Amino acid sequence: MWLIFKKEFKELLRDRKTIIFMIGLPLLLFPAIFGVAMFFMSSAADKAENKVLKYAIVGEAYAPAIVQSFSDASDKFEEVAIGNETDYAKLIKNETLDFVLVIPEGFNSDVLNSGQHTLQLYLNDAGLNKVMGRVSDIVDEYSDTFQQTAFSSLGLNESQQVALLKPIEIEKQNVADDREVWGERIGGALPYFIFILCLQGAMAPAADLGAGEKERGTLETLLISPMDRHKLVLGKFFTIAVAGIITALITVSSMALWGLVLSQGMAVEFVVKIMSMIGLVDFFLIFLMLVPVVAVFAAVLLSLSIYARSFKEAQSYMGSLIMVVIFPVLIAMMPGVELKGGWVWVPLTNVALAMKELFKGTMDYFALFGIFSSTAVIAAGLIYFCIHWFNKEKVLFR
Amino acid sequence: MIEISGLAKRFEVENPKKLSEQEKKDPRLKGRYFQSVRDVSFTCDQGQVLGLLGPNGAGKTTTLRMLSTALRPDSGKVLIGGEDVLANPNIARKKIGFLSSSTGLYGRLSGRENISYFGELHGIPKDVINSRIEEMADLLDMQNFLDRRAENFSSGMKQKVSIARAVIHEPALVVLDEPTTGLDIMATSTVMEFIQRLKDKGTPVIFSTHHLDEVQTLCDKVTVINQGETVFNDSLAAFSALSGGQMHKSFLKTLSMDSEETSNVVNL
């Protein structure tokens, strides 16, 4: 069996495509996701913040002070004359303007007599823009001034003012610590990436070791060697599983490494928070839980590969498998699904849930027994099926 | 001595509706099953070379696959030196060297690594494998490409490595399925010389072919299979005598066909 494993692994390491999926992708995917997402998010936010907004104010005569504030901020706002045009939506859609502010007749600072004033802001709010915020920054200054004037004329002290503004306040006392909050957000999505990477890492060798043998015409020669069929299958199974485990190891290491780089070197706030909460033991446990998962993947992939007539057919079966793998991870992401009761025994879903719990710091370590035993039983059953499959002429000589 | 008697093998047809009209008329098609081999029997003695002839689809490859234990027959017997191949396939596998018609090598391994791997599968010590590889490299003229990756080999190079791989464990019987198909004259000649050398060493060789000149040059015995049944099994001399020394006519006679009908199934 080890002879088969040794030979298969030697071949595997000489295959550039496998190396890319097994090592390159997991090593670069996390920095790529973090880096690209952060770059685009920050550059889009900067652009929205610094863009000179083209505007028009209707009813300028009722609020000369506000009009003056906009024209004073000429590095941020540019007034555009619109004449008698009243189709503001059209002006905004054809990008003549970014917004139109309509000030109502009778606008004044005496809010006690005139009541609340409603200013209408026309803007295109689709996509990332900061129009509302930037306009509010200017208008709110006047809103606060009007409020202060009204409170002063009523002779209210500071405490009365606060009580009048919000007579009842609910103060949120969140008992979840930061780790739980971030763990819930990140731990739910992370298994999705990790599972897919492990599957990808095992896919290329699996296609080669089963269907590849048929396509090359080496299967027949292998079948008539004096090696027991179960040893042939186990040799191939271990090769695929080790490829998947290497991918898992590199994925988790890459996650830890880039987490450190982003938190220590680049001081990215949310990564700093996460990294300060998660220890090396957690990363090790994540890796450990991936081992039986990879065994399940390896057994399924090898069965599909043995059944397929050609490399291409194997790849198409394996492509569909991604959808099957995503499903239990999606279940784990659903609200209310926790690592309790029956879910501890549901393969793949239980590992995805456990990863989330590890990130949250709320892991019940007794659940590991259920996770390992259920996944190991499934993996063993699938390997048995694989051996049975490998003994069927109907499958081998399709 | 190799003794094959009453071999039969049928396959389930995956989609009978997709068969051509000619295939549907084949008497071997029974419902969802195709009786590829119905009754094949022949013997081959020590040091003999047996040529297995037959038109395409006659059942030659299935017969050789059963002989080599790749397929399990539905009925019949295969004895190699008295050892029942079907009862003890792993013991029989050590005694058989098989070259299939689809020459397959592991492309990312060198020629030497390909041969060595199969030697190790047979449990041969590494130093013995190395010396046998050197010996065969000289015999099959492989020295200049043996350490290159097999993915870039020509058909001739692949076939030479495949033959070496099939006999690395010095089998008691060598089975070759169309060993010269697709090879150039030089490679064919090397393969023929190699078979002759096996014969000289006393190793029985069974090989299927469409080339009657190869049969005439190498074989002691001839077995003709048609529609899954043995239709001739005797010495080369007896085969040749069927039509006064004209091999192709003898072949036609065994099939009970005229030359028009068989022009597509044999290289004259």
The amino acid that residue A244 corresponds to is: G
Nearest by Cα to A381 from A389, A391, A392: A389
Lowest mean pLDDT among A189-193, A250-254, A257-261: A257-261
**Lowest-confidence region among A34-43, A240-249, A343-352, B63-72:** A34-43
pLDDT tens column, B164-173: 999 999 999 9
Q: Which of B100, B121, B175 to mutate to test the interface with A (most CBs of A within 10 A)?
A: B121
**Residue B267 reports pLDDT greater than 60:** no
Neighbouring residues of B212: CB distance < 8 A, sequence distance ≥ 6: B53, B247, B248, B251, B266, B267, B268
Q: What is the pLDDT of residue B221?
A: 94
CA distance A214 to chain B (A): 9
Q: Assess A391–B contact: CB distance below 8 Å, yes or no.
A: no
Select from A14, A227, A398 the Cβ nearest to the Cβ of B108: A14
Topology given in CATH for the domain delimited by B2-262: Rossmann fold (3.40.50)
Q: Which residue has the higher pLDDT, B20 or A99?
A: A99
DSSP B262: H
Nearest CA-CA distance, residue A223 and chain B, Å:
6
Chain A, chain B: beta-carbon pairs less than 8 Å apart: 67
Residue B146 has pLDDT above 90, yes or no: yes
Angle between the N-to-C axes of helices A229-260 and A280-307, in degrees from 0 to 180, rounded to the nearest 10: 140
For the four alpha carbons of B62, B63, B65 and B71, in that order, the dihedral sign comes to: positive
The answer to whether the Cβ–Cβ distance between A218 and B106 falls below 8 Å is yes
Nearest residue to B197 (alpha-carbon basis) of B235, B140, B249: B140
What mean pLDDT do residues B7-21 have?
A: 83
pLDDT at B266: 47
Q: Which of B70, B108, B123 sits opposite A224 (nearest CB)?
A: B70
Percent of chain A with pLDDT over 70: 94
Phi first, then psi: give them for residue B3, nearest 5 degrees: -130, 120
Q: Which pLDDT tens digit goes with each residue over A286-303? A: 888 888 888 999 999 999
| Average model confidence (pLDDT) across chain B | 87
pLDDT, residue A273, reads 67
pLDDT reading at A255 higher than 60: yes
| Total residues found in chain A within this entry | 398
Q: Which residue has the tokens 């191939």?
A: A236
Residue B19 is classified by DSSP as S
Residue A39 CB neighbours (<10 A): 10
pLDDT: which is higher, A56 or A283:
A56
Among A147-151, A288-292, A389-393, B259-263, the range with the most confident prediction by mean pLDDT is: A147-151
pTM of the model: 0.74
Would you say residue B264 has pLDDT above 60? no
Name the least confident of A77-86, B11-20, B193-202.
Answer: B11-20
Give B2→chain A minimum CA distance, Å. 18
Among residues 205-224 of chain A, which lie with CB inside 8 Å of chain B?
Answer: 213, 216-224
Query: Would the ipTM clear 0.85, i.e. be above it?
Result: no
Interface touch A219/B104, C-beta < 8 Å: yes
Q: Chain B contact for A225, CB < 8 A? A: yes
Q: What is the pLDDT of residues A302-348, one digit of tens each?
A: 999 988 988 889 988 988 888 888 888 888 888 778 888 888 888 88
Mean pLDDT throughout A199-208?
87
Residue % of chain A over a pLDDT of 90 = 20
Token match 């870039």: residue? B152
Contacts of A220 in chain B (CB under 8 A): 65, 70, 98, 100, 102, 104
> Lowest mean pLDDT: which of A181-195, A218-232, B24-38, B219-233?
A181-195
d(CA A244, CA A237): 11
Q: How far apart are CA A109 and CA A117, in angstroms?
A: 10
Residue B149 pairs in a beta bridge with: B110
With a cut of 60, say whether residue B98 has pLDDT above it: yes
pLDDT confidence tier of residue A200, bands split at 50, 70 and 90: confident
pLDDT reading at B12 higher than 90: no
Contacts of A308 (CB under 8 A, 6+ apart): A207, A210, A211, A214, A314, A317
Helix, strand, coil: what percent of chain A each, to 5? 70, 5, 25
pLDDT score of B230: 93
pLDDT of the residue at B268: 41
**Nearest-CA distance B267 → chain A (Å):** 25
**Complete DSSP assignment for A317-356:** HHHHHHHHHHHHHHHHHSTT--SSGGGGGSTTHHHHHHHH
The residue in chain A having the minimum alpha-carbon distance to the alpha carbon of residue B73 is: A393
Indicate if the pLDDT at residue B187 is higher than 80. yes
* Mean pLDDT of the A375-398 span: 84
For chain A, what is the mean pLDDT? 84
Nearby residues of A209 by Cβ (< 8 Å), 6 or more positions away: A8, A236, A239, A240, A302, A305
Those residues whose C-beta lies under 8 Å from the C-beta of residue B251, and which sit 6 or more positions away, are B53, B212, B224, B262, B266
pLDDT in tens, A160-183: 888 888 899 898 887 767 777 777
pLDDT at A271: 65
For B50, other C-beta atoms within 10 Å of its C-beta total: 24
For residue B12, the tally of other CB atoms under 10 A from its CB is 11
Q: What span, in angstroms and rounded, lies between the C-alpha atoms of A86 and A90? A: 9
Domains of chain A listed by start with CATH number: 2-34+176-396 (no CATH), 52-165 (3.40.190.10)
**Using the beta-carbon criterion (under 8 Å), do B93 and A224 form an inter-chain contact?**
yes
**Residue A89 in this model has a pLDDT that exceeds 80:** yes
Q: Do B102 and A217 touch (CB under 8 A)?
A: yes
Which DSSP letter does residue A101 get? E
B250 touching A (Cβ < 8 Å): no
> What's the pLDDT tens digit per position in A24-40?
777 777 667 767 777 78
User: Which residue is associated with the tokens 């009243």?
Assistant: A86
